[in-house]
Amino acid sequence: MRQQLQSMLVNFKLGRLKSEQFEFPAQLHRKNRIIVTLPEGIQTNSVLLRMISELPGIFRESELLVVVPLACTEVSRKTGIHAMSPDLYATNAIGLPKRNFFAKVKTYNASMVIDFETHRNIFNALVAVSSGAQLRIGVEGVWGMPLHNCMVKSQFVADELKIYRSLVDVLTEILKPSPGEQYLKN
């Protein structure tokens, strides 16, 4: 029953999600405030957290925030990126964080969300919707439109670590300066 109510809430919020225009890939090259969401229960996976720690080098001009359901300190310590999580005991009747947590997500004023989840995760979906971010990047086959308006398809379907690596590699490749740009910077 609880999961059904959570799913209904996400579907309601997705129905109200506005489709905004953004310039791709130019949006990635700007100074952004980026929210990163992780797969449920994987906040202590050292391999994934090492990949997440590459993001500040990829998005050099941007500010990053990792939003996780719990275990904030471990994520911050292992990635070097500030993390935020809801209070363990501040949940509503259907088991989700209370509105004030999602209000904090909104006040971060993110322009981009990168969702590393490979399965439908209600918490991550609500973070993405609450963020107000124009660009919401996720793995293809998880939520799709309108939640993720930019989806990365991986050739790997069963190996989650390789899917995460694909996501990081695609972002790295998109943000790699062209040969002309690199020449101008030298």
Q: What CATH code is carried by the domain that includes residue 60?
A: 3.40.50.1220
* pLDDT tens profile 131-169: 999 999 999 988 888 888 889 988 887 888 899 999 999
Q: For all residues of the chain together, what is the average pLDDT?
A: 83
Whether the predicted pLDDT of 181 surpasses 60: no
Q: Could you tell me which residues come within 8 angstroms of residue 124 by beta carbon, excluding any fewer than 6 positions away?
A: 37, 38, 40, 115, 117
Residue pair 134/27 in contact by the 8 Å Cβ criterion:
yes
* pLDDT tens profile 68-120: 887 566 788 888 899 998 876 677 666 678 888 889 999 999 999 999 999 88
| Encoded tokens for 91 | 């949940």
Angle at 3 between CA 89 and CA 166, to 5 degrees: 90
- Within a domain: residue 139? yes
- Within a domain: residue 113? yes
Q: If you average pLDDT over residues 10-20, what whole number do you get? A: 71
- Within a domain: residue 15? no
Q: How confident is the model at residue 128 (pLDDT cuts 50, 70, 90)?
A: very high
Q: Outline where the chain has alpha helix (H).
A: 2-15, 26-29, 46-52, 55-58, 72-79, 99-107, 122-131, 160-175, 179-185
Residue pair 64/34 in contact by the 8 Å Cβ criterion:
yes
- Within a domain: residue 83? yes
> What is the domain extent for residue 107?
26-177
- Within a domain: residue 16? no
Q: If you average pLDDT over residues 29-41, what whole number do you get? A: 88
Most confident range (mean pLDDT) of 9-13, 139-143, 177-181 is 139-143
Q: How far apart are CA 28 and CA 73, in angstroms?
A: 27
Quick one: pLDDT at residue 178?
61
- Share of residues in the chain with pLDDT > 70 (%): 84
- Within a domain: residue 141? yes
Burial class (CB in 10 A: 0-12, 13-18, 19+), 177: exposed
Number of domains within the chain: 1
| Encoded tokens for 57 | 């080098």
Residue pair 114/126 in contact by the 8 Å Cβ criterion:
no
Of 32 and 77, more confident: 32
Quick one: pLDDT at residue 35?
96
- Within a domain: residue 92? yes
- Within a domain: residue 138? yes
Q: How far apart are CA 147 and CA 20, in angstroms?
A: 12
